[in-house]
Copies of this chain bind each other. A is one copy, B any other.
Amino acid sequence: MSRAIHDHSQWGMGDQLGAGNYLTPEKRLEALALVRQGQLFDLSHIIEYGAPRYEPVQTPYLLLGAPNWQGALRRRRQAGATNDAGSNLERIEMTTHVGTHIDALGHFTVGSEMYGGNDASEVSTDFGLLKLGIEHAPSIVSRGLLVDVSRLDGGEFLEAGRSVGPEDIERCLANNKATIRRGDILLINTGWGRFYMNDNVRYLAGEPGINLAAAKWLTKQGVTAIGTDTMAVEVLPGEEAPAVQMPVHQHCLVEAGVYLIENLMLTPLVDAGIAECCFILLPVKFKGATGSPARPIAMV
């Protein structure tokens, strides 16, 4: 689509990697060089029944603990086994946007237009995406930059509907004497994550987040992904809602080919006062899926 091509003409029509193209061996070495103590921070939430979701499009996460060890013992004894090997299994039913997860570029459209000049009426099928599915997302090993905007308004977190603009981000970066480089993963802590599984009604009723201007400024800097401690990265309700809905998703995923990481748990980094880290997120390659639950980590 024109807009997407305009933004990233260097990658051309049909590209499925987007800003993942910035993740070069050099970029990985730059990120790994940040690890000096071997300290590891888990930036993900546990995924369980009742995980926050947008009704009704995001269907409930469910896990059933069967078949289990007892049936296995019975079956294996009947098959002549004497060592009583019991195996526990489960059945999970879920969307890929549950818990801490990353969005595939194919998660959003502008009308029928998708990233890379693709047409949703061709790409989006009953059995998943024929292109731009999460299996095309890169293994992310890159430099992570933490931007803690949680205290900008004096409290411990920003309120729902509070827009985070380019100036807010620049100010925080300046405080950290940090500058964005191509391929960086921008991690924005709003403090809103404290409500995850503690008060899901509030967590979902709205959220602080970046506005379109911030999104465009960040994609212009060449970030590969933007992650937050919220459901949607972008401010909700949006600045021009209801007329304009989810513009940050449209710009980042469809126009800029930049990935979004949601429901991150960033407090470990904030508490440790870490502004720069080696960030790793490895999306599971569910064919044609629009995202993947994940367990991102940060190392220093």
**Once the chains are docked, how many angstroms separate the CA of A82 from the CA of B94?**
30
* A86–B63 touching, CB < 8 Å: no
* A87–B246 touching, CB < 8 Å: yes
* A284–B290 touching, CB < 8 Å: no
Chain B positions within 8 Å of A32 at CB level: 32, 35, 38, 299
| Residue A199 lies at the interface, judged by CB distance under 8 Å to chain B | no
Chain B positions within 8 Å of A244 at CB level: 81-83
* A93–B92 touching, CB < 8 Å: yes
Which of B25, B47, B73 interacts with A111 by CB under 8 Å? B73
State how many residues of chain A have any CB contact under 8 Å with chain B. Answer: 100
Which of B26, B60, B83 interacts with A110 by CB under 8 Å? B83
**Once the chains are docked, how many angstroms separate the CA of A293 from the CA of B60?**
19
* A90–B26 touching, CB < 8 Å: no
Closest-CB distance, A227 to chain B (whole angstroms) = 15
A93-B93, A296-B282 are contacts. A108–B86 as well, Cβ < 8 Å? yes
Closest-CB distance, A185 to chain B (whole angstroms) = 15
Closest-CB distance, A205 to chain B (whole angstroms) = 16
Interface hits, A232-291 → B, CB 8 Å: 242-247, 249-250, 280-290
Interface hits, A46-76 → B, CB 8 Å: 46-49, 56-60, 62-74, 76
Interface centre among A79, A84, A127 (most CB of B within 10 A): A127
| Residue A176 lies at the interface, judged by CB distance under 8 Å to chain B | no
Chain B positions within 8 Å of A72 at CB level: 57
| Residue A85 lies at the interface, judged by CB distance under 8 Å to chain B | yes
Residue of B nearest to A61 (CB): B286
| Residue A229 lies at the interface, judged by CB distance under 8 Å to chain B | no
**Once the chains are docked, how many angstroms separate the CA of A242 from the CA of B77?**
9
| Residue A42 lies at the interface, judged by CB distance under 8 Å to chain B | yes
* B289–A59 touching, CB < 8 Å: no
* B87–A47 touching, CB < 8 Å: no
**Once the chains are docked, how many angstroms separate the CA of A85 from the CA of B38?**
42
Residue of B nearest to A110 (CB): B84
* A60–B62 touching, CB < 8 Å: yes
* A81–B139 touching, CB < 8 Å: no
| Residue A228 lies at the interface, judged by CB distance under 8 Å to chain B | no
* B66–A65 touching, CB < 8 Å: yes
Task: Give the 9 A-B CB pairs with smallest separation, nearest first.
Answer: A25-B38, A67-B126, A86-B109, A66-B66, A48-B287, A28-B38, A80-B242, A29-B38, A71-B126
Can you list 19 A-B contacts (CB < 8 A)? A25-B39, A28-B40, A57-B71, A60-B60, A62-B93, A63-B287, A83-B245, A83-B246, A83-B247, A84-B110, A86-B111, A88-B107, A89-B95, A89-B107, A91-B95, A92-B289, A93-B93, A139-B295, A281-B282
Assuming A29-B35, A60-B60, A68-B120, what are 4 further A-B pairs, CB within 8 angstroms? A48-B288, A65-B127, A67-B127, A88-B106
